Amino acid sequence: MIKRKGNPSRRLQTDPYIKAASHPTRQTILKSLQEKDALTTIELQELTGEDRYNLYHHLAKLQDAGLVDYELEDSRAKRYFLSSNEDTTERFIYLERSDSKARRTISELLMVLAGSSEITLPSSEDVESVSLIFRLRKR
């Protein structure tokens, strides 16, 4: 029998926004919405390669986290977009190395983080993409 020190009921909890955005399919959804402003479920299904059931599961996780929202188009088709509600205090940014502007931003971001962190960071050449979630103060 292994005995644990401290409070056994204490568990490390992942931030719900990070948890929602960390899945590769959800990152694809967020990146696509960042590039296109709004997409239908059919368009998102084609972009992600997910079946409708799985796509709605991922969209629900992103909605619960406050990262995406939708509006009805023609009273039945849903168009999803990145949430911009003033009550929402989270913002998502996705940078991919294949984009030349993002490549420079990734390098600069890693330099700034390396100067302010004791954590060893990868070189910018090794980073394929960066996902950032900002939590803003409510005013």
The secondary structure element, H or E, covering residue 54 is helix 52-64
The sign of the dihedral angle between the CA atoms of 108, 114, 119, 121 is positive
Q: Measure Cα distances from 87 to 39, 79, 83, 135 in Å.
A: 22, 20, 10, 12
pLDDT (tens, 9 = 90+) of the chain, 139 residues, equals 344 445 555 555 667 777 888 888 998 999 899 888 899 999 999 999 999 999 999 999 999 988 899 999 877 788 999 886 555 566 778 888 888 888 888 888 888 888 887 778 888 889 888 888 777 766 6
Q: Can you tell me the distance from the alpha carbon of 127 to that of 96, in angstroms, rounded to the nearest whole number?
A: 9
Q: Can you tell me the distance from the alpha carbon of 45 to that of 58, in angstroms, rounded to the nearest whole number?
A: 11
Domains and CATH numbers, the chain: 16-135 (1.10.10.10)
Global pTM reads: 0.64
